[in-house]
Structure 1
Amino acid sequence: LLASSILAICTGFASGFHMLVIGRILQGITLAGLPAVAMAYLGEEIEAKSLGMAMGLYISGNSIGGMSGRIISGVLTDYFSWHIALMGIGVISLLSSIIFMVLLPKSAHFEPQNFKLTSLAGSLFSQFKVPGLTYLFTIGFLLMGGFVSLYNYIGFELIAPPYSLSQTVVGFIFIVYIVGTFSSTWMGMLADQYGKNKILPLSLVIMLAGVVTTLHPNLWVKIIGIAVFTYGFFAGHSIASSWVGRLALHDKAQASALYLSAYYAGSSVGGTVSGSFYHQWDWPGVVGMIVALSVVSIGISFKLRGRDPVRAI
């Protein structure tokens, strides 16, 4: 956290594009392991019946950060420059990191192990043998592929006629992330109460309904569709990520890292491939691709039935 915050501040001093890219690459490297460690910490420290809600709160923090970062950086860029925007985000992150270090309770259930490359590789591949984990990894891949595709290209759709919105207005559309703040926690609670195997497919169906709604030409209906899609995405991600922590029999951080690797691979692959769909068929092409990803993820979620170790009382 400290390293990524300092690098964020340093990127504000970048004198050219190449230095900016290098700074962002280094920042990505420092951040890469954070979500896996955070998910493993929750999986080890939070009791099973409350894990869904706890993971939902964590994911809601992601949604608030994603929304705030885009809005704050946009405002700072408009009033000052992108240099000041990056440095401002870095300072906020640095202060948050210090607060986090002071407030975080010490781990009570972590069991340290000696680092051995051979045993590490063995435990890594053994994760794929755990029933259900591969399904969750695949769902993470499909979820993020659809999410990034929508947010990558909806801006182009709204800037173009007949909407012709400004960059500033399009940037504020990210405020719909706030529904993800609510859904990740609320749907996580429902998953704790009624079972993940029931709430996860429901979340994916909501996501599917939202992306289909964005095909409507009315701007407000389209924005509602984005909000519904975002609701379903953050709910699905929250439930799937908490489920990984429950199914993993050992090395929970490693299992979480594999989930996140698939998750971000989906971001890279989906975000790139959907560009071709947008180029060939405009927004309906992107929607068609996300619909396909959603339908496949719903089908996979039904294969997880019976693998939820937490039962509703």
Structure 2
Amino acid sequence: MSPASTGASSTLDAAPAVPVTDSRTAPGTPGYRRMSFALFLAGVATFALLYSTQALLPLISGEFGVAASSASWTVAAATGGLALFVLPMSALSERFGRRTVMTASLAVAVALGLLVPFAPNLTALVVLRALQGAALAGLPASATAYLAEEVRPKALITAIGLFVAGNSVGGMSGRIITGWVAQEWGWRVAVGVIGVLAVGCAVAFRLLLPAPRHFTAGSPRPRALARTVRGHLADPLLRRLYAIGALFMTVFGGVYTVIGYRLTGAPFSLPQGIVGSVFLVYLVGTVSASTAGRLVSRLGRRGALYAAGATTALGLLLSLADSLPAVLLGLVLITGGFFAGHAVASSAVSRTATHGRAQAAALYQSAYYVGSSAGSTVGAVAFHAGGWAGTVGVGLLAVLGVVAITLLGTRAARAHRRPAATAA
């Protein structure tokens, strides 16, 4: 991310430079609060819509007579659609503006969400969900680029953390609401209620989000886009951050796609409403994402990633026990570790990219949701083959990948510092 414009140039014959005030939004101001709340609501709507069927997979399996691996495509199709379209949507945001693209994306996704309850079969449901994910693609990358342009650098990780916290609240509330509504009226009514909730969030988002003041329209030409993407992919740090986001989301997608099957089956046999309430642990993600800035200040970026990976791995191991308190504690640790790692990695992308921020963020989001699709699919297949232990095994391999990539970054940073120290 480009440094803030905090000073004026000077020459030997000129008077001392007079500092220029940073005109970007500062924390604590009314504009910052409106911006944060608007994007928080956008995050709520995004995750509530994107994962609206995840807690309902056992019911969808029952109605259509399919296994978990087939029903999981209602989640994987949505996240896969988002992963495929997030980069083209980021190019549109460079041309038409972040706020315009975010508003249009949310409006189309909400409209499709109101059609999902009427899907006549599994194929139609998967197609609608894929279209919904593609529509939502304009929001995540545009949101982080908007914040990088409109918020002062020192407040960026906190602002992005609040957006990620909105994701966690949306994921939690969507699953809890669908769980209890589905228990009484079925999964179709449940996803319809989520659609109505998203309508309210979308309207409030558009009314609250301040107009951008620092956006400069760019070129959406394919050659320019390809050149920008190649530049980002050539950056070793950005490549590592993209891989870390994908691996963290592989864990999260696999665990939360399969957990409903585990808790509704033996030895727990919980009703659908109680299973939906289990997603209250998302509140832990809200806290860990919004406090990621303090974690980085204390441990550094790589130290925070190590801590997030270790927390996630411990949660996976705890969840193996056939004890409901142990499983719940495991979910708490998995959720806290995931959201902290995601907030650290995504904010690092925004700070690292000095140009084409929307594309840099879009590549991260694309990798992130590819990880979600992979986790949902592979986690469900592993559950079918080896039970919950199979899903946990997939998650532990992904966490091991996070640690290995972070260690590679640590060694690269030390190698970079060594010549500088020798020269000094």
- TM-score greater than 0.5 by the shorter chain: yes
CA drift at 1:47? 2.0
Q: 2:403 corresponds to which residue? A: 298
User: How large is the RMSD of aligned CA atoms in angstroms?
Assistant: 1.9
1:142-221 alignment runs, 5 A limit: 142-192=247-297, 194-221=299-326
Q: 1:95 corresponds to which residue? A: 200
Q: Structure 2 counterpart of 1:300, which letter?
A: I
Matched, 1:229 2:364: no
CA drift at 1:206? 0.8
Q: 1:47 corresponds to which residue? A: 152
Q: Secondary structure of the equivalent of 1:132?
A: helix
1:268-279 alignment runs, 5 A limit: 268-279=373-384
Q: Which has the higher contact order (CA 8 A, sep 6+)?
A: 1
Which deviates more from structure 2 when the two are superposed, residues 220-229 or residues 3-12?
3-12
How far apart, CA to CA, are the structure 1 residues paired with 2:312 and 2:322? 19
1:17-28 alignment runs, 5 A limit: 17-28=122-133
Counterpart selection for 2:350 from 245, 266, 269 = 245
How far apart, CA to CA, are the structure 1 residues paired with 2:151 and 2:236? 22
Q: 1:58 corresponds to which residue? A: 163
Q: Secondary structure of the equivalent of 1:136?
A: helix
CA contact (8 A) 2:164 2:343 kept: yes
How far apart, CA to CA, are the structure 2 residues paired with 1:261 and 1:51? 21
Q: 1:88 to 1:156 in 2, by over 3 A?
A: closer
Matched, 1:77 2:167: no
CA drift at 1:271? 2.4
Which deviates more from structure 2 when the two are superposed, residues 279-288 or residues 34-43?
279-288
Q: 1:204 to 1:91 in 2, by over 3 A?
A: same
How far apart, CA to CA, are the structure 1 residues paired with 2:181 and 2:265? 25
In structure 2, the gaps of 5 or more residues are 1-105, 415-424
Aligned sequence identity (%): 40
Q: Which one has the largest radius of gyration? A: 2
CA drift at 1:194? 4.6
**TM-score, normalised via structure 2 length:** 0.68
Q: 1:80 to 1:158 in 2, by over 3 A?
A: closer
Q: Secondary structure of the equivalent of 2:213?
A: coil
Q: 2:102 corresponds to which residue? A: none
Matched, 1:3 2:108: yes
How far apart, CA to CA, are the structure 2 residues paired with 1:164 and 1:72? 20
How far apart, CA to CA, are the structure 1 residues paired with 2:400 and 2:204? 41
Deviations 1:39-92 (CA, angstroms, capped at 9, x unpaired): 111222222222221111111100100111112223333343444333322222
Q: 1:310 corresponds to which residue? A: none
How far apart, CA to CA, are the structure 2 residues paired with 1:74 and 1:29? 25
Q: 1:131 corresponds to which residue? A: 236
CA drift at 1:31? 0.3
How far apart, CA to CA, are the structure 2 residues paired with 1:5 and 1:84? 15
How far apart, CA to CA, are the structure 2 residues paired with 1:15 and 1:281? 32
Q: 1:281 corresponds to which residue? A: 386
How far apart, CA to CA, are the structure 2 residues paired with 1:166 and 1:18? 27
CA drift at 1:114? 2.5
How far apart, CA to CA, are the structure 1 residues paired with 2:266 and 2:307? 34
Q: Structure 2 counterpart of 1:168, which letter?
A: G
In structure 1, the gaps of 5 or more residues are 308-313
How far apart, CA to CA, are the structure 1 residues paired with 2:385 and 2:326? 24
CA contact (8 A) 1:152 1:271 kept: yes
Deviations 1:158-215 (CA, angstroms, capped at 9, x unpaired): 2222222222222221111111011111123322455322212211111111111112
Q: 1:225 to 1:135 in 2, by over 3 A?
A: same
Q: Secondary structure of the equivalent of 1:111?
A: coil
How far apart, CA to CA, are the structure 2 residues paired with 1:265 and 1:221? 29
CA drift at 1:110? 1.8
Aligned residues: 307
How far apart, CA to CA, are the structure 1 residues paired with 2:127 and 2:382? 29
How far apart, CA to CA, are the structure 2 residues paired with 1:299 and 1:288? 17
Q: 1:311 corresponds to which residue? A: none
Q: 1:283 to 1:18 in 2, by over 3 A?
A: closer
Q: Structure 2 counterpart of 1:199, which letter?
A: A
Q: 1:283 to 1:87 in 2, by over 3 A?
A: closer
Matched, 1:34 2:168: no
Q: Structure 1 counterpart of 2:139, which letter?
A: L
